[in-house]
Structure 1
């Protein structure tokens, strides 16, 4: 494997209408750790929260922009339609199914998803997710479950699973994933393809679905904003910036997000980010208190007082 190749999923970013409710859902119900509470670097008047494994490892984090004044999303085609989380076993799905019943979480029950057990569910704002069992999975390793979370570690979420993308221009998008991003087709069906990158497995898969009849999705809270794929380091992401330029693919250019480096390009309607594995979320906070205080990258520190007076506070300190 070349040092510049895509390694798998890095993070998925979605939109919420209530950062505090979303925080409670992810930490108290799903048992994922809040590893960073910061602001949207492109809109500093709103929160950007990161939920991940115990250490905030790349490939494990689901992040949220807090947009309380946005309209609710209208789900449809030409969108990222579902994020997934990995759990270690089929027994873990049984555990979460009972947990969802206890907490009143809307779900579809345990299903078969291309030969693996899965549990689709929704947050109260309509955001769609699924848990996917790794019992028969091979490929990219998972992370470390939150050691002090409410879910037993042998059952807990420990990484991102396949990202589901639905488009009307199925063949064109599939060819782009293969020819530009180097993905390989694992399985083809009548209206879907499963593609892999890097070492493959649930942490490196895209489920591409074909939908030519549904309405165009209207983004808003309760929908996914973008997906990010992992690369090793600065050298790798600069390679991708050069590749985009060579192929005349419009892109953001290299962006320093402090916790990682980023590069953005829109493929049809889908915003795809490429991100480096480091420096990581322990850059400005110790492991023990990750996510408990408002973190700001160095270039925003001079504006801390203004930011803290603008965004509505919510308590993320753990006992």
Structure 2
């Protein structure tokens, strides 16, 4: 059986692409590696942030929906994103940076058994900076023009928190179908790792009864997990269908190929290939500086650009 090597990307909803860029580039120091559009609804931006090239496992992506309302928090939702930093000294750096820049945050604490700082962006998206102790994504690359010094830069995605009514149902999908290892369990929380002992593929599943979350700005749309290539994606499509889940089938997103399915709590998962990546239509030095469109949308460029509010430099 093929092994899931970790997270690929995670996708959220934002109300304002320019405000979003200012936070993730200027505050968090990530590189905006791709400016494109939602391929299913090209009237909205789809922005990607990550390391120097937007490597799988480092990508935070956002759909801009200007009329979107507030998120009403609840269960059956992806509820927090862990981001890895190198050391305890990095947490001190980030605490001071958040205080200087007015970012809502807590004190240094522990989350998912890692030293951490919990914080939110301006739209209420819940995140945590966690000490990686060397557990960065292997292909992570420093972004030399980041606002953050190299020794404190975010090194990719760590634990992703999912809150559900039926913890055991999601646990079964992760362990029995995808081969994750359950590394801890209490009455209302379980932690799973795609690669045992590594934080960059962790999923923290929390039990919560009550109403489902109503998504809005600052909510998390889906989590994408990694596969290496088309062969592995075809294998996982077969596994998803064999388990009785409805699948989108394989979709060519140009920058990677994907399939989508919802597990029993309604959580949307994407399975995405590592290749070809964001340099397939862009030079490393200028990634994220202009609007890139997949070939099948290129003939509509004038129409698409006319419907988008220009992004600030």
Matches within 5 A, 1:32-51: 32-51=30-49
- Pairwise CA RMSD: 1.4
Work out whether 1:161 is the aligned partner of 2:158.
yes
Q: 1:74 aligns with which of 53, 56, 72?
A: 72
1:17 aligned residue: 15
Aligned positions of 1:149-298 closer than 5 A: 149-198=146-195, 200-212=197-209, 214-267=210-263, 268-298=265-295
CA contact (8 A) 2:84 2:136 kept: no
Distance 1:138 1:290 in 2: 26
Residue 146 of structure 1: which of 131, 135, 143 is its match? 143
Superposition deviation, residue 109 in structure 1: 1.6
What TM-score, normalized by structure 1, do the two folds share?
0.95
Structure 1 residue 190: deviation in Å? Answer: 2.5
Partners in 1 of 2:91 and 2:36 — Cα distance?
A: 31
**Are 1:10 and 1:228, in contact at CA under 8 Å, matched by a contact in 2?**
yes
Distance 2:119 2:139 in 1: 21
d(CA) in 2 for partners of 1:288 and 1:176? 40
Q: Take 1:269 and 1:72, find their aligned partners in 2: how far apart are those partners? A: 20
Are 1:95 and 2:96 an aligned pair?
no
Provide the C-alpha distance between the structure 1 equivalents of 2:234 and 2:45, rounded to a whole number of angstroms: 28
The within-5 A match list for 1:112-131 is 112-131=110-129
Q: How many residues in Structure 1 have an aligned counterpart in Structure 2?
A: 312
Question: CA contact under 8 A between 2:135 and 2:200: conserved in structure 1?
Answer: no
| Structure 1 unaligned blocks of 5 or more | none
Contact 1:264 1:271 in 2 (8 A): yes
Partner residue of 2:82 out of 77, 81, 84: 84
Structure 1 contact 40–47 (Cα < 8 Å) conserved: yes
Q: Secondary structure at the match of 2:300?
A: helix
Report SS of the residue matched to 1:292: coil
Contact 1:141 1:203 in 2 (8 A): no
Which of 282-291 and 185-194 deviates more?
A: 185-194
Unaligned runs of 5+ in 2: none
Per-residue deviation, 1:103: 0.6
**Residue deviations 1:39-78 (CA, integer Å, cap 9, x gap):** 0001100000000011211100000000111111111111
1:215 CA drift (Å): 2.8
Cα distance, 1:84 vs structure 2: 1.4
CA–CA distance in 2 between the matches of 1:162 and 1:80? 11
Taking the TM superposition and a 5 Å limit, the aligned residue runs for 1:306-317 are 306-316=303-313
1:150/1:243 CA distance change after superposition, 3 Å: same
Report the 3-state secondary structure (helix = DSSP H, G, I; strand = E; otherwise coil) of the residue aligned with 1:278.
coil
Distance 1:30 1:140, change over 3 A: closer
Structure 2 length-normalised TM = 0.96
Q: Deviations over 1:155-182 (max 9, x none)?
A: 0101011100000111122122111111
Q: Distance in 2 between matches of 1:141 and 1:207?
A: 22
